[in-house]
């Protein structure tokens, strides 16, 4: 068997796979690593993992060599609230790292591990509200590409506004034990759970614009998100909690005042 045939079989019997087949060059910048993954996947929009609850993450492919079998294994990795989950994709058998990354992305896509970021329709001025609106389509794209599940710009603005009023809260907490629904802000004593909903992912009636590509998939996805929101609110109210929905386009100061008034009212009622 020739060297090429051995490499393509996914096994290097005589020696370990050459570094060029799986190992990244030392000293690469973060931008270089990102560009490598984008190129192998066919674009940043093709590196998306659906985390559920309307959240998405930008994944990467990691290549590892098993010393005993001398095979190159590919793993899909992403970040989710400080954790770094990984999903085994399969073995790759090309002779260069670039080719193996591309092969792994194809395998991940074929296995249904990825979704494609939707293409949003822009209005004539490039936004759906105003140039400074967080609900502009260009800003939504930036959010999707950054794939931050928390500490987003609207979330930080809302926290700051509530903190300025003098109210304290918990961040990223599940109000109900055993129910996988995480609120962005939780006021435990008052039993108020705040959800900051993205205009695209939760179907904002003012700013949502249907995706051009894969429209049926994304319409179904967003409808499921909305149904889940309704179910979450119902579960919370049954347990004595009050859910609050804040759209990302809302004025954070106004939203903070609305939340503060609700908490004062609930405290007053409880004390009556």
pLDDT, one tens digit per residue, over 15-31 is: 778 899 999 988 888 88
Angle at 271 between CA 265 and CA 272, to 5 degrees: 90
94 and 15, same structural domain? yes
146 and 189, same structural domain? yes
238 and 154, same structural domain? yes
Whether residue 187 is contained in a domain is answered as: yes
Distance CA 114, CA 149 (A): 17
194 and 105, same structural domain? no
What is the dihedral angle through the alpha carbons of 59, 209, 258, 255, rounded to the nearest 10 degrees? 60
Whether residue 129 is contained in a domain is answered as: no
- pTM to 2 decimals? 0.52
Residue 159, Cα to own-chain centre: how many angstroms? 20
Q: Is the pLDDT of residue 133 over 70?
A: no
61 and 8, same structural domain? yes
> Is-contact 154 195, C-beta < 8 A?
no
The residue that leads in pLDDT, 125 or 244, is 244
180 and 100, same structural domain? no
185 and 94, same structural domain? no
Read off the pLDDT band of 238 (50, 70, 90).
very high
142 and 248, same structural domain? yes
pLDDT score recorded for residue 17: 86
Out of 45, 75, 110, a domain closes at 110
158 and 33, same structural domain? no
Give the CATH number, domain containing residue 157. Answer: 3.40.960.10
For residue 51, give every residue at least 6 positions away whose Cβ sits within 8 Å of its Cβ, in sequence order, or none: 57, 78, 80, 149
Out of 110, 129, 153, a domain closes at 110
* Domain that includes residue 80, residue range: 3-110
pLDDT score recorded for residue 7: 42
Please identify which residue in the block is written with the tokens 């759906």: 128
Whether residue 122 is contained in a domain is answered as: no
20 and 66, same structural domain? yes
Query: Taking Cα atoms as reference points, which of 199, 85, 82 lies closest to residue 150?
Result: 82
62 and 182, same structural domain? no
Side-chain-side CA neighbours of residue 212 (13 Å): 5
> Is-contact 249 133, C-beta < 8 A?
yes
Whether residue 61 is contained in a domain is answered as: yes
pLDDT score recorded for residue 137: 42
Whether residue 35 is contained in a domain is answered as: yes
Q: Which helix (H) or strand (E) holds 6?
A: helix 3-8
For residue 215, give every residue at least 6 positions away whose Cβ sits within 8 Å of its Cβ, in sequence order, or none: none
143 and 201, same structural domain? yes
Domain count of the fold of the chain: 2
């Amino acid at each position: 068997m020739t060297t090429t045939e051995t490499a393509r079989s996914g096994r290097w019997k005589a020696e370990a796979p050459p570094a060029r087949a799986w190992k990244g060059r030392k000293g690469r910048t973060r931008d270089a690593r990102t560009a490598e993954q984008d190129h192998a996947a066919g674009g940043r929009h093709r590196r998306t993992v659906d985390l559920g609850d309307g959240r998405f993450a930008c994944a990467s492919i990691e290549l590892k060599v098993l010393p005993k079998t001398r095979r190159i294994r590919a793993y899909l990795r992403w970040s989710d609230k400080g954790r770094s989950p990984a999903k085994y994709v399969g073995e790759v058998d090309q002779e260069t790292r670039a080719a193996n990354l591309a092969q792994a992305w194809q395998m991940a896509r074929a296995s249904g591990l990825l979704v494609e970021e939707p293409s949003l329709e822009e209005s004539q001025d490039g936004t759906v509200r105003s140039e400074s609106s967080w609900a502009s389509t260009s800003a939504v794209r930036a959010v999707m590409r950054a794939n931050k599940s928390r500490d987003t710009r609207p979330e930080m603005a809302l926290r700051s506004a509530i903190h300025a009023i003098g109210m304290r809260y918990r961040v990223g907490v599940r109000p109900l034990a055993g129910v996988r629904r995480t609120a962005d802000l939780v006021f435990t004593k008052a039993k108020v759970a705040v959800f900051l909903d993205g205009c695209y992912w939760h179907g904002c009636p003012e700013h949502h614009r249907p995706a051009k590509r894969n429209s049926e998939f994304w319409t179904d996805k967003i409808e499921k998100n909305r149904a889940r929101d309704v179910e979450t609110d119902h579960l919370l109210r049954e347990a004595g909690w009050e859910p609050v929905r804040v759209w990302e386009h809302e004025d954070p100061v106004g939203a903070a005042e609305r939340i503060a008034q609700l908490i004062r009212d609930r405290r007053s009622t409880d004390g009556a």
